[in-house]
Structure formats: structure tokens, C-alpha cells
Amino acid sequence: MFQVKIIENEKDLQCAMKHELPVLMVNLNPNLQSNQRLLCEKCLYYFESDAKMIGFKKIIQMIEENKKKSFDNCESLIKLNINKVQSIESQIQQLKSKLNQSLNQILQEIKEWDANLQSLIEKSSNISFFQELNNIILNQQSHLKDRLNLSDQIKILNDNWNKKIITKLESLTSFNEFQLCKEILNGLSQQSIQEYAKIYFNYQNIYMICNLTF
């Protein structure tokens, strides 16, 4: 649990006249600069004004209480967003596990595809003596025929594996975690817009009331 902490050290704060004495009171006149509002014992001795004042310790207490309320609201809002981000992280971890399994399966199939193509080399190197003798006697262009047959086999093989791999790759985006992550991300964006609009509206109302009051 974080605590509200004033960044300035009380001992370092000086009065408007730099008397180097402990600050005792605070002048609440809104027209003064911040460093002109602090008054020590010596300042108070010579001070003449009907301006509203408050004890230094009391104003410190009020500041801390006000900021504590504000901080609690801010912390709640931040934690809400942290929970959403952690949900995304959880979904991504699950998705990573599933993707790894699916990608490993695809890689295994690609290895089989590669092995099928490698086997064509062996098949092409096995020839029939009588078949080749017949080709020479008949003056047939066997190498063109072989290349044509081989091209046809490669096409059939590639088409078959191509369909399998594309189907597997397209299925990767169908995981439920994909959709959940998108929903959470979209929800975070909408939530931020709505929260900002709500706070801005309240701020504008308070600002208008304050202006009418003064």
C-alpha cells in the first residue's frame, strides 16, 4: 500500500521574508505567490491584514487528507487497468503455449514435405536399362519426358502440402485467446475515454461553480 508523501521537507520551507524560523501560519490569499503565503513567528509580529489564515500543521493535515482521498481514487483506477493488463498477459501466455504446439506441428509437416521432395531425387536417379535402351533406339528425348513427369509430381506434392500448411496457419487466428485479448484491449481504450470524459465533465462543473461563487 503506497502512502501519500509531500516531496518538500517541512524543515526546508521558509517564510516569505526568509527569516529562517519555523513556519507557523499560512496566508490563504489566492492572489499571493506560493512562497509568499508562509509566515513564521517574526512575520506574524509585523503582519497586518484581514486575510484568512490557517495554522501550518493544520494545512499540512488537510493537504494530506485531501490527497489521500484523491490518491485512493487514482490507485483504484490504476489497479483496475493493471488487472486488465495482467489479464492480457495471462491470455498471451496461454496463446503462446498453444501457438508453440501448433507451430511445432506445422514444422513437423514441413519436414515431411521436405522429405517427400528429397525422395523424388532418389526416384529420379533409379532408371530402367531396357527403358533407356528403348528410348535411345527410338531416338526419344527421354530427359524432356523425365523433366515433365518430375514437374508434374512436384506440382501435385506442393499443392497437397500447400493446402495443409495454409489451413494450419489460418487456424492460428481462431484461438479464443486472440479474441479475448482484442476485447480486453478495446475495453481498456473505451474505459480510458469514458473515465476521462467523466472526470473532465465533473472538473468543468466544479470550475464553473467556483467562478460563480467568487
The pLDDT profile of the chain, 214 residues, written as one tens digit per residue, is: 556 677 777 777 888 888 888 888 888 888 888 778 898 899 888 887 778 889 988 988 888 888 887 777 777 878 888 888 888 888 888 888 888 888 899 899 989 988 888 887 777 655 555 666 666 655 655 556 666 777 888 888 888 888 888 888 878 777 777 777 777 777 766 766 766 666 666 656 655 555 554 4
- Domain span at residue 104 reads 79-213
Is 46 inside any structural domain? Answer: no
Is 73 inside any structural domain? Answer: no
Q: Give the Cα separation of 94 and 176 in Å (integer).
A: 10
Q: Give the Cα separation of 63 and 57 in Å (integer).
A: 10
Radius of gyration of the chain (CA): 40
Is 34 inside any structural domain? Answer: no
Is 172 inside any structural domain? Answer: yes
Instruction: Give me the residue label for grid cell 509580529.
Output: 45
Is 24 inside any structural domain? Answer: no
Q: How many domains does the chain have?
A: 1
Is 67 inside any structural domain? Answer: no
Is 193 inside any structural domain? Answer: yes
Is 167 inside any structural domain? Answer: yes
Sequence length of the chain is 214
